[in-house]
Structure 1
């Protein structure tokens, strides 16, 4: 099993949380033409309050969060001095949204609850409905989805009761975002589309409402794009994010533009356009930094690190991951800190720097346990098991896998349970403990059949066949290979299909049935060429060469071995273990032909590589 990675999912969640927060202050009563109830005061004080409030709102919309916070605090002080309770509630509402975007959720909830209490005391149902939405968005950003849904549903009911169309549309799109965050994409998109339709209608009304509706529409379009990304419907995601980006850029809505660029960066990455993805994300980062939204900033840094990791540029990946980690620590985001620590460990893991990988995995594991995140805890336990398996420290590997297995069973995660059982089987396979390996593989196979996971079922049947082949029980091996082959052909899993054809060819080769072996190897070679898989081609060419060698057809054997060697020596695919195996095989052919000097030449080349490597040689998949 490959090592777990969580980069895209996590980043999308944060984007959703940010979008939730962005909407909140725009629907405050002051934006809906509802004049604050002003106590007896001087014109200068009232004018100052109004100007400060307008400035705070403008700063927020432009994404100038530190300035908006200061302005809201000033206007709050004035409204309190004036005894203007409605104005106080409005200022608290605006301040709460700023705190949320600055990742100060505790402060956000504190001031929003104060606003709600004032509005309920004043009998301000419209204000109450709007503030409930704001509070719901904070809980959504904290991933407390049940409470967020409860509050947003209350808010929707109140806004419907008072006939507040903007509030209704706003509540619907927030509900849609929460459902999407929970993986309920159809339900989420339905709510989002309902909300968008209402906002579009409101946008046809007088100027003030039309301007406000554009903000809502831009944010909702981002949300819809996000939902389509999560459901892997990328064409639709592009359509909506382009609209969102255009609206946000035209209106100078910097955070909305930053989010749109982050979503575009994700989409470019899914298309394999990694350089374009980095370019787009770096533009989003440049736009986001001045806003003061550290959470969105670190999230974009995390995404950029993920692309560099995917490109194999590990030092660059670590640079961006470490920047993301520093901000997460600054914000006190322990859950997110654990995720990035696990991801940094993955980078070291990919570079075979296992000591560093283990250190970061252990740091991540400690945090996952502290915040009681059992899903991430099990992920890191599996990753630790993988590292110890690669280091051939099999007892430690099994210990970590068993801990992960216990969590998956407790949580009822059947698919993940099957994956860990497969990994444990693999460890026993490496230890040549075939009975135990088969036991765990079969437990995993039962689960994959139960959940109708055809791809993993095919892989497990292949693995069981390989155990029997290594055990020398070729009839059983062939039976499982054929079962696996039936599935891989049905689901068009060409890579596993190719591997199975190679493995079946090996069985026939071990039986001395060389013509049948050649037939399967040729089928495997055809698939590798179709896939343009150079290393797969080299593997099968080597296998075909071994058949001709066994048949005493040394010229043909040398021809295929040399072709395999040429690919393995290519700078784009250079693999010293495979090159050494090729040299050794060619040496054996010359030896068999009595050309001892040539044989020694190739044996020496192979030995030179072997002395630098501790890897076990072998080219059969």
Structure 2
């Protein structure tokens, strides 16, 4: 076998997950050992075979099997007193743990490997382990932040210290390349991984231009040496750097998708299952983000595409055994089903995600995705004053209400009316007048959309009368009146979008059907006054950023 160090990697997004670290076969180093006895030769051959098997298992996504294989290689190397083999086994065990999202164990094994690398003067191995430490610390910080387990990155490791791991690795790999007997493939590949890690750190520090500069260098080297897995990883990370950007020349397609698509084609070609799972998940997120921005599409197929990516990712990630990623995929599937108007299916997936969080020992004071068990309606007399009314809608009623929103958004107006009617009946049985007002307002909007203008007018009037009854203080205010719906129990914690309506303006505009509909959403008092001055006398129900039908609306993620 050619005496070179070959690097494999499991990539991840800078927004969500980690780059796993280079896996280094034992072969090149063992070839340099002076075998003193046949038993040592046998152990060397066995270790070499195990390392090659582990690498193939890793590529195929068989991480549990790969872990067992490397543990066997570690035991054999320890029995033989082979310190180089011990270090490499520790390193590769750490890489598997990292790929499974078990960051604490990954750090433990990397930290055991590093001093042995230095002891045996294995420079290429030292660089690989430094990269592994950098990758894992970044991932661990992100993991802790995602679940709100830390407030600052410094509680795990300052980013500047993480950057030093990559910078040390970069110096070492370039020194190897400058050596007359240096392995050019090992040095160039190690250099590329170091540059990619530096780019990832800069991206985390919001230094996007610097991040892209380092990643461009890394990508060029990966292509130069023919490291396809590395090329896919860098493409993936580059896409993540463009996460929020869209191309106006191509229908505002997310730029990240171009990079993800290239990366996906490569990993499918080489058969790298762990990386494939993460690319598919991020493509699903990207399509979902794009769909939520383009609310006017009202296209169910867009969310069905999102679900397809998530479900492909879920199948692979369960094979791989990356529990944190599995939890996120399940959570995203739940959110998507909820947006499609299937809260019961969403509940099933969310319960699976919750079980994984409990397994990981994560007990949140908020859910990652907000399952429909209760909702809070909060009204304010002014945006900055204290609430004038807080009331809950619970149980079956809120499920029907959310179904109504989803049906209305997709133009399924008859189904929306049926769902709202069910929610209305329950609210009246409970004597929940504030929510009766909200539901009637939504129903008025649907009647307006289907052209039943007189019914819409009557429904709006019922809604307005109840609103005046239950929120008299706010009704006296001539300034914007804020409605906020938050799903959960803490208005300040749960995600929501506030909607402003002026009651005086509402009275002016409530004569439905007299003129052309207003197409511009009312978002400020100035907008409302401008419309009133133009003489428009039609009620415009204002939707929030999410674009869901009706004035009481919220963002679904």
Tell me the TM-score normalised to structure 1 length: 0.56
Is 1:258–2:258 an aligned residue pair? no
Q: Which has the higher strand share?
A: 2
Out of 105, 115, 119, the residue aligned to residue 161 of structure 1 is 119
2:521 partner SS: helix
Aligned partner of 1:218 in structure 2 is 192
Q: Give the superposition deviation at 1:36.
A: 6.4
CA distance in 2, matches of 1:292, 1:283: 14
Aligned partner of 1:232 in structure 2 is 206
CA distance in 2, matches of 1:180, 1:574: 35
CA distance in 2, matches of 1:171, 1:574: 48
Task: Verify the 8 A CA contact 1:344 1:360 in the aligned structure 2.
Answer: yes
Query: Superposition pairs for residues 76-155 of structure 1, below 5 Å?
Result: 83-155=41-113
CA distance in 2, matches of 1:364, 1:474: 43
Aligned residue pairs, count: 412
Does the C-alpha gap of structure 1 residues 32 and 166 become closer, same or farther in structure 2, counting only changes over 3 Å? farther
Looking at CA atoms only, which structure, 1 or 2, has the larger radius of gyration? 1
Does the C-alpha gap of structure 1 residues 127 and 385 become closer, same or farther in structure 2, counting only changes over 3 Å? same
Task: Verify the 8 A CA contact 1:368 1:377 in the aligned structure 2.
Answer: no
CA distance in 2, matches of 1:31, 1:161: 14
**Residues 506-535 of structure 1, C-alpha deviations (whole Å, 9 max, x = no match):** 59x79xxxxxxxxxxxxxxxxxxxxxx953
Aligned partner of 1:318 in structure 2 is 307
Aligned partner of 2:287 in structure 1 is 308
Is 1:535–2:521 an aligned residue pair? yes
1:16 partner SS: coil
Q: Which has the higher helix share?
A: 1
CA distance in 2, matches of 1:476, 1:389: 19
Does the C-alpha gap of structure 1 residues 111 and 178 become closer, same or farther in structure 2, counting only changes over 3 Å? same
Out of 287, 290, 296, the residue aligned to residue 275 of structure 2 is 296
1:394 partner SS: strand
Is 1:364–2:364 an aligned residue pair? no
Does the C-alpha gap of structure 1 residues 398 and 200 become closer, same or farther in structure 2, counting only changes over 3 Å? farther
CA distance in 2, matches of 1:201, 1:398: 68
Aligned partner of 2:178 in structure 1 is 204
Query: Superposition pairs for residues 195-594 of structure 1, below 5 Å?
Result: 195-206=169-180, 208-273=182-247, 274-312=253-291, 313-331=302-320, 333=322, 335-369=324-358, 371-372=359-360, 374=362, 378-380=366-368, 382-385=370-373, 394-396=393-395, 432=434, 470=471, 472=473, 535-536=521-522, 540-545=526-531, 556=533, 558=535, 577=550
Q: Give the superposition deviation at 1:472.
A: 0.8
Aligned partner of 1:25 in structure 2 is 24
CA distance in 2, matches of 1:253, 1:175: 21
CA distance in 2, matches of 1:259, 1:108: 20
1:203 partner SS: helix
RMSD: 4.7
Task: Verify the 8 A CA contact 2:523 2:542 in the aligned structure 1.
Answer: no
1:374 partner SS: coil
Is 1:34–2:20 an aligned residue pair? no
CA distance in 2, matches of 1:240, 1:32: 33
Does the C-alpha gap of structure 1 residues 98 and 208 become closer, same or farther in structure 2, counting only changes over 3 Å? farther
1:248 partner SS: helix
Q: Give the superposition deviation at 1:179.
A: 1.6
CA distance in 1, matches of 2:127, 2:530: 66
CA distance in 1, matches of 2:478, 2:89: 65
Aligned partner of 1:485 in structure 2 is none
**Residues 258-313 of structure 1, C-alpha deviations (whole Å, 9 max, x = no match):** 11111122222232344432222111111101222212112111111112111212
CA distance in 1, matches of 2:376, 2:34: 65
Long gaps (5+) in structure 2: 1-10, 142-156, 248-252, 292-301, 379-390, 400-426, 436-466, 483-496, 506-518
1:320 partner SS: helix
Task: Verify the 8 A CA contact 1:36 1:86 in the aligned structure 2.
Answer: no
1:232 partner SS: coil
Task: Verify the 8 A CA contact 1:228 1:236 in the aligned structure 2.
Answer: yes
CA distance in 1, matches of 2:82, 2:360: 40
Q: Give the superposition deviation at 1:396.
A: 3.7
**Residues 345-369 of structure 1, C-alpha deviations (whole Å, 9 max, x = no match):** 2123234443443343334334544
CA distance in 1, matches of 2:37, 2:205: 52
**Residues 384-416 of structure 1, C-alpha deviations (whole Å, 9 max, x = no match):** 4478989x982349999xxxxxxxxxxxxxxxx
Long gaps (5+) in structure 1: 1-8, 41-79, 401-426, 434-465, 482-495, 511-532, 547-555, 578-614
2:221 partner SS: helix
CA distance in 2, matches of 1:113, 1:573: 50
Aligned partner of 1:519 in structure 2 is none
Task: Verify the 8 A CA contact 1:159 1:167 in the aligned structure 2.
Answer: yes
Tell me the TM-score normalised to structure 2 length: 0.61
Q: Give the superposition deviation at 1:25.
A: 1.8
**Residues 224-267 of structure 1, C-alpha deviations (whole Å, 9 max, x = no match):** 22333334332222112211211111211111111111112222
Task: Verify the 8 A CA contact 1:245 1:260 in the aligned structure 2.
Answer: yes
CA distance in 2, matches of 1:158, 1:330: 32
Does the C-alpha gap of structure 1 residues 353 and 182 become closer, same or farther in structure 2, counting only changes over 3 Å? same
Out of 155, 161, 179, the residue aligned to residue 187 of structure 1 is 161
2:178 partner SS: coil
Does the C-alpha gap of structure 1 residues 205 and 339 become closer, same or farther in structure 2, counting only changes over 3 Å? same
